Amino acid sequence: MNKVLKNVIMWTIALLLTLATVVYQRMTGPTHPVRGNVTLENEEIRFRLIRSFPMPMDAPIRVKVESEKITGSFEYKRTPSHDEKTVEDMVRKDEYLIAYIPQQPPAGKVMYQITLQGEEEKVKLTENPIIIRFRGSVPAWAFIPHVIIIFIAMLLSTRAGLAAIFKEKTFTLTLWTLITLIVGGLIFGPIMQKYAFGEWWTGWPLGTDLTDNKTAIAFLFWAYAMVKVYKNHYHRGWVLAASVIMLIVFLIPHSLLGSEIDWTQEAMP
Protein backbone atom coordinates (compact mmCIF):
# COMPACT_ATOMS: atom_id res chain seq x y z
CA MET A 1 0.00 0.00 0.00
CA ASN A 2 1.48 3.40 -1.00
CA LYS A 3 1.78 6.24 1.51
CA VAL A 4 -0.94 8.44 -0.03
CA LEU A 5 -3.57 5.69 0.03
CA LYS A 6 -2.58 4.69 3.56
CA ASN A 7 -2.84 8.31 4.70
CA VAL A 8 -6.30 8.68 3.13
CA ILE A 9 -7.48 5.50 4.85
CA MET A 10 -6.09 6.60 8.22
CA TRP A 11 -7.77 10.02 8.01
CA THR A 12 -11.04 8.43 6.91
CA ILE A 13 -11.00 6.06 9.88
CA ALA A 14 -10.15 8.95 12.20
CA LEU A 15 -12.99 11.05 10.78
CA LEU A 16 -15.56 8.26 11.12
CA LEU A 17 -14.52 7.53 14.72
CA THR A 18 -14.67 11.22 15.59
CA LEU A 19 -18.11 11.68 14.03
CA ALA A 20 -19.42 8.61 15.86
CA THR A 21 -18.08 9.97 19.15
CA VAL A 22 -19.66 13.38 18.59
CA VAL A 23 -23.06 11.92 17.68
CA TYR A 24 -23.04 9.56 20.68
CA GLN A 25 -22.02 12.35 23.05
CA ARG A 26 -24.75 14.70 21.88
CA MET A 27 -27.50 12.06 21.76
CA THR A 28 -26.82 10.84 25.30
CA GLY A 29 -26.25 14.18 27.06
CA PRO A 30 -28.59 15.56 29.75
CA THR A 31 -29.48 18.54 27.55
CA HIS A 32 -30.70 16.40 24.62
CA PRO A 33 -34.51 16.67 24.27
CA VAL A 34 -36.65 13.78 25.48
CA ARG A 35 -38.81 12.36 22.69
CA GLY A 36 -41.68 9.91 22.77
CA ASN A 37 -45.35 9.39 22.09
CA VAL A 38 -48.55 8.53 23.94
CA THR A 39 -52.09 7.71 22.84
CA LEU A 40 -55.06 9.57 24.32
CA GLU A 41 -58.64 9.77 23.03
CA ASN A 42 -57.59 7.70 20.00
CA GLU A 43 -55.01 10.34 19.08
CA GLU A 44 -51.32 9.56 18.89
CA ILE A 45 -49.45 12.42 20.48
CA ARG A 46 -45.77 12.81 19.74
CA PHE A 47 -43.70 15.06 21.98
CA ARG A 48 -40.26 16.61 22.26
CA LEU A 49 -39.48 17.96 25.72
CA ILE A 50 -36.55 20.36 25.93
CA ARG A 51 -33.95 20.13 28.69
CA SER A 52 -31.97 23.31 28.02
CA PHE A 53 -33.16 26.85 27.34
CA PRO A 54 -31.48 30.25 26.85
CA MET A 55 -32.64 33.18 28.95
CA PRO A 56 -34.22 35.71 29.35
CA MET A 57 -37.76 34.33 29.13
CA ASP A 58 -39.93 31.48 30.36
CA ALA A 59 -39.24 28.20 28.59
CA PRO A 60 -42.19 27.18 26.36
CA ILE A 61 -42.75 23.42 26.26
CA ARG A 62 -44.97 22.76 23.24
CA VAL A 63 -46.95 19.57 22.70
CA LYS A 64 -48.96 19.16 19.51
CA VAL A 65 -52.48 18.03 20.48
CA GLU A 66 -55.06 18.51 17.73
CA SER A 67 -58.15 17.48 19.73
CA GLU A 68 -59.50 20.41 21.74
CA LYS A 69 -61.17 17.87 24.04
CA ILE A 70 -57.74 17.20 25.50
CA THR A 71 -56.32 19.61 28.06
CA GLY A 72 -53.00 19.63 29.83
CA SER A 73 -51.37 20.55 33.12
CA PHE A 74 -47.81 20.53 34.38
CA GLU A 75 -46.17 20.39 37.77
CA TYR A 76 -42.75 21.82 38.45
CA LYS A 77 -40.24 22.80 41.12
CA ARG A 78 -36.70 24.10 41.21
CA THR A 79 -34.03 21.47 41.71
CA PRO A 80 -32.16 20.77 43.89
CA SER A 81 -34.47 22.57 46.33
CA HIS A 82 -36.91 22.16 49.19
CA ASP A 83 -39.69 23.77 47.11
CA GLU A 84 -43.18 22.35 47.00
CA LYS A 85 -44.40 21.37 43.54
CA THR A 86 -46.50 23.93 41.69
CA VAL A 87 -49.27 22.78 39.33
CA GLU A 88 -50.49 24.95 36.46
CA ASP A 89 -52.69 24.48 33.40
CA MET A 90 -51.15 24.40 29.96
CA VAL A 91 -52.18 27.11 27.51
CA ARG A 92 -53.73 26.15 24.19
CA LYS A 93 -52.54 28.00 21.10
CA ASP A 94 -54.02 26.62 17.89
CA GLU A 95 -53.09 22.91 17.81
CA TYR A 96 -50.50 23.14 20.59
CA LEU A 97 -50.70 22.89 24.36
CA ILE A 98 -47.93 24.96 25.92
CA ALA A 99 -46.39 24.79 29.38
CA TYR A 100 -44.37 27.85 30.36
CA ILE A 101 -41.57 26.94 32.77
CA PRO A 102 -40.62 30.05 34.82
CA GLN A 103 -37.22 31.40 33.83
CA GLN A 104 -34.30 30.95 36.20
CA PRO A 105 -30.85 32.53 36.56
CA PRO A 106 -28.02 30.94 34.55
CA ALA A 107 -27.44 27.32 35.71
CA GLY A 108 -30.81 27.25 37.48
CA LYS A 109 -32.65 23.95 37.03
CA VAL A 110 -36.35 23.10 37.14
CA MET A 111 -37.92 19.65 37.09
CA TYR A 112 -41.26 19.39 35.34
CA GLN A 113 -43.80 16.75 34.35
CA ILE A 114 -46.67 17.13 31.91
CA THR A 115 -50.06 15.41 32.21
CA LEU A 116 -52.67 15.36 29.44
CA GLN A 117 -56.35 14.95 30.35
CA GLY A 118 -58.99 13.51 28.04
CA GLU A 119 -62.72 13.15 28.67
CA GLU A 120 -62.33 9.79 30.41
CA GLU A 121 -58.63 9.26 31.01
CA LYS A 122 -55.36 11.05 31.54
CA VAL A 123 -51.75 10.22 30.83
CA LYS A 124 -48.33 11.48 31.89
CA LEU A 125 -45.96 12.09 29.00
CA THR A 126 -42.99 10.73 30.95
CA GLU A 127 -42.69 8.30 33.84
CA ASN A 128 -40.25 10.59 35.65
CA PRO A 129 -39.95 14.39 35.71
CA ILE A 130 -37.76 16.12 33.12
CA ILE A 131 -35.02 18.48 34.29
CA ILE A 132 -34.43 21.64 32.29
CA ARG A 133 -31.41 23.90 32.83
CA PHE A 134 -31.49 27.58 31.99
CA ARG A 135 -28.47 29.30 30.48
CA GLY A 136 -27.41 32.61 29.07
CA SER A 137 -27.12 33.16 25.34
CA VAL A 138 -23.69 32.39 23.90
CA PRO A 139 -22.66 34.63 20.96
CA ALA A 140 -21.86 32.94 17.68
CA TRP A 141 -18.29 34.28 17.70
CA ALA A 142 -17.62 32.16 20.80
CA PHE A 143 -19.83 29.15 20.12
CA ILE A 144 -18.89 28.39 16.51
CA PRO A 145 -15.08 28.47 16.95
CA HIS A 146 -15.38 26.37 20.12
CA VAL A 147 -17.35 23.63 18.38
CA ILE A 148 -15.21 23.59 15.23
CA ILE A 149 -11.85 23.68 17.01
CA ILE A 150 -12.82 21.02 19.57
CA PHE A 151 -13.96 18.79 16.70
CA ILE A 152 -10.61 19.32 14.98
CA ALA A 153 -8.81 18.51 18.24
CA MET A 154 -10.75 15.25 18.54
CA LEU A 155 -10.02 14.39 14.90
CA LEU A 156 -6.30 15.09 15.30
CA SER A 157 -6.19 13.14 18.55
CA THR A 158 -7.73 10.09 16.90
CA ARG A 159 -5.39 10.38 13.93
CA ALA A 160 -2.40 10.69 16.27
CA GLY A 161 -3.50 7.53 18.06
CA LEU A 162 -3.63 5.68 14.75
CA ALA A 163 -0.19 7.04 13.88
CA ALA A 164 1.13 5.63 17.15
CA ILE A 165 -0.44 2.23 16.46
CA PHE A 166 1.00 2.03 12.94
CA LYS A 167 4.42 3.41 13.95
CA GLU A 168 4.17 6.67 12.03
CA LYS A 169 5.75 9.98 12.98
CA THR A 170 3.67 11.53 15.78
CA PHE A 171 5.28 14.92 16.49
CA THR A 172 3.21 17.17 14.19
CA LEU A 173 -0.10 15.48 15.04
CA THR A 174 0.63 15.70 18.76
CA LEU A 175 1.60 19.37 18.52
CA TRP A 176 -1.56 20.37 16.65
CA THR A 177 -3.77 18.25 18.89
CA LEU A 178 -2.40 20.10 21.91
CA ILE A 179 -2.75 23.52 20.25
CA THR A 180 -6.36 22.97 19.16
CA LEU A 181 -7.28 21.50 22.55
CA ILE A 182 -5.87 24.58 24.29
CA VAL A 183 -7.61 27.03 21.96
CA GLY A 184 -10.95 25.21 21.73
CA GLY A 185 -11.17 23.81 25.25
CA LEU A 186 -9.15 26.09 27.52
CA ILE A 187 -9.74 29.44 25.79
CA PHE A 188 -13.10 29.31 24.02
CA GLY A 189 -14.48 26.78 26.54
CA PRO A 190 -14.30 29.15 29.54
CA ILE A 191 -15.61 32.02 27.38
CA MET A 192 -18.69 29.93 26.56
CA GLN A 193 -19.05 28.93 30.22
CA LYS A 194 -18.97 32.60 31.26
CA TYR A 195 -21.68 33.61 28.80
CA ALA A 196 -23.87 30.57 29.50
CA PHE A 197 -23.55 30.23 33.27
CA GLY A 198 -21.73 33.28 34.58
CA GLU A 199 -18.51 31.50 35.59
CA TRP A 200 -15.21 31.07 33.75
CA TRP A 201 -14.36 27.68 35.28
CA THR A 202 -16.44 25.31 37.40
CA GLY A 203 -14.27 22.21 37.25
CA TRP A 204 -11.70 21.09 39.80
CA PRO A 205 -10.74 22.65 42.19
CA LEU A 206 -13.63 25.15 42.05
CA GLY A 207 -16.44 22.70 41.32
CA THR A 208 -17.50 19.40 39.83
CA ASP A 209 -18.37 20.40 36.25
CA LEU A 210 -17.50 17.28 34.29
CA THR A 211 -17.06 19.09 30.99
CA ASP A 212 -14.34 21.31 32.48
CA ASN A 213 -12.73 18.40 34.29
CA LYS A 214 -12.54 16.12 31.25
CA THR A 215 -11.04 18.96 29.20
CA ALA A 216 -8.37 19.44 31.87
CA ILE A 217 -7.61 15.71 31.98
CA ALA A 218 -7.26 15.52 28.20
CA PHE A 219 -4.97 18.57 28.25
CA LEU A 220 -2.68 17.09 30.93
CA PHE A 221 -2.28 13.83 29.00
CA TRP A 222 -1.56 15.61 25.72
CA ALA A 223 0.84 18.05 27.37
CA TYR A 224 2.86 15.17 28.78
CA ALA A 225 2.69 13.34 25.44
CA MET A 226 4.07 16.49 23.81
CA VAL A 227 7.04 16.45 26.18
CA LYS A 228 7.76 12.85 25.24
CA VAL A 229 7.32 13.43 21.51
CA TYR A 230 9.54 16.50 21.59
CA LYS A 231 12.39 14.24 22.64
CA ASN A 232 11.48 11.47 20.19
CA HIS A 233 9.34 12.34 17.14
CA TYR A 234 8.31 8.69 16.81
CA HIS A 235 7.31 8.22 20.45
CA ARG A 236 4.22 6.03 20.65
CA GLY A 237 3.26 5.08 24.21
CA TRP A 238 2.05 8.37 25.65
CA VAL A 239 0.57 9.51 22.34
CA LEU A 240 -1.58 6.39 22.20
CA ALA A 241 -2.49 6.79 25.88
CA ALA A 242 -3.49 10.44 25.38
CA SER A 243 -5.53 9.54 22.30
CA VAL A 244 -7.42 6.81 24.18
CA ILE A 245 -8.04 9.12 27.15
CA MET A 246 -9.31 11.82 24.79
CA LEU A 247 -11.70 9.33 23.20
CA ILE A 248 -12.96 8.14 26.59
CA VAL A 249 -13.51 11.59 28.10
CA PHE A 250 -15.36 12.81 25.02
CA LEU A 251 -17.59 9.74 25.05
CA ILE A 252 -18.88 11.01 28.39
CA PRO A 253 -22.23 12.73 27.67
CA HIS A 254 -21.87 16.47 27.16
CA SER A 255 -22.93 18.67 30.14
CA LEU A 256 -23.15 15.68 32.50
CA LEU A 257 -22.68 16.96 36.08
CA GLY A 258 -22.71 20.47 34.66
CA SER A 259 -23.08 23.80 36.45
CA GLU A 260 -26.16 24.16 38.63
CA ILE A 261 -27.54 26.40 41.36
CA ASP A 262 -28.10 24.64 44.67
CA TRP A 263 -31.46 26.03 45.79
CA THR A 264 -31.20 24.17 49.10
CA GLN A 265 -28.80 26.82 50.37
CA GLU A 266 -30.48 29.07 52.90
CA ALA A 267 -29.25 32.19 51.14
CA MET A 268 -31.23 31.33 48.03
CA PRO A 269 -34.72 32.90 47.73
Confidence of residue 128 (pLDDT cuts 50, 70, 90): very high
On whether both 247 and 142 belong to a single domain, the answer is yes
Q: CA nearest 232: which of 176, 169, 180?
A: 169
Q: CA nearest 101: which of 130, 126, 127?
A: 130
Strand partners, 77: 111
Instruction: Report the CATH number that the domain containing residue 119 is assigned in CATH.
Output: 2.60.40.10
- Mean pLDDT score, 135-143: 93
Q: Look at 13-17, 133-137, 221-225, 230-234 and tell me which has the smallest mean pLDDT.
A: 230-234
Give dist(CA 40, CA 23) in Å, integer. Answer: 33
- Report the 3 state secondary structure along the chain: CCHHHHHHHHHHHHHHHHHHHHHHHHHHCCCCCEEEEEEECCEEEEEEECCEEECCCCEEEEEECCCCCCEEEEEEEEECCCCCCEEEECEEECCEEEEEECCCCCCCEEEEEEEEECCCCEEECCCCCEEEEEECCCCHHHHHHHHHHHHHHHHHHHHHHHHHHCCCCCHHHHHHHHHHHHHHHHHHHHHHHHHHHCCCCCCCCCCCCHHHHHHHHHHHHHHHHHHHHHHCCCCCHHHHHHHHHHHHHHHCCCCCCCCCCCCCCCCCC
**pLDDT recorded at residue 191:** 95
**pLDDT recorded at residue 90:** 97
Q: Identity (one letter) of the amino acid at 269?
A: P
On whether both 171 and 210 belong to a single domain, the answer is yes
Please state the domain count of the chain: 2
On whether both 67 and 197 belong to a single domain, the answer is no
On whether both 182 and 244 belong to a single domain, the answer is yes
Confidence of residue 267 (pLDDT cuts 50, 70, 90): low
Q: Identity (one letter) of the amino acid at 189?
A: G
On whether both 127 and 182 belong to a single domain, the answer is no
On whether both 64 and 184 belong to a single domain, the answer is no
On whether both 19 and 99 belong to a single domain, the answer is no
On whether both 221 and 164 belong to a single domain, the answer is yes
Q: Which domain holds residue 23?
A: 3-29+138-251
Is 268 domain-assigned? no
* Cβ-based burial of 68 (10 A; exposed 0-12, middle 13-18, buried ≥19): exposed
Is 239 domain-assigned? yes
**pLDDT recorded at residue 210:** 77
**How many C-beta neighbours within 10 Å does residue 88 have?**
15
On whether both 14 and 43 belong to a single domain, the answer is no
- Mean pLDDT score, 132-139: 93
On whether both 38 and 109 belong to a single domain, the answer is yes
Q: Which of 135, 150, 165 is the last residue of a domain?
A: 135
On whether both 87 and 212 belong to a single domain, the answer is no
On whether both 62 and 9 belong to a single domain, the answer is no
Q: Which of 80, 103, 135 is the last residue of a domain?
A: 135
- Mean pLDDT score, 134-144: 93
Q: Which of 135, 163, 191 is the last residue of a domain?
A: 135
- Mean pLDDT score, 151-157: 97
pTM for this predicted structure = 0.86
Is 269 domain-assigned? no
* pLDDT tens-digit readout, 159-186: 999 999 999 999 999 999 999 999 999 9
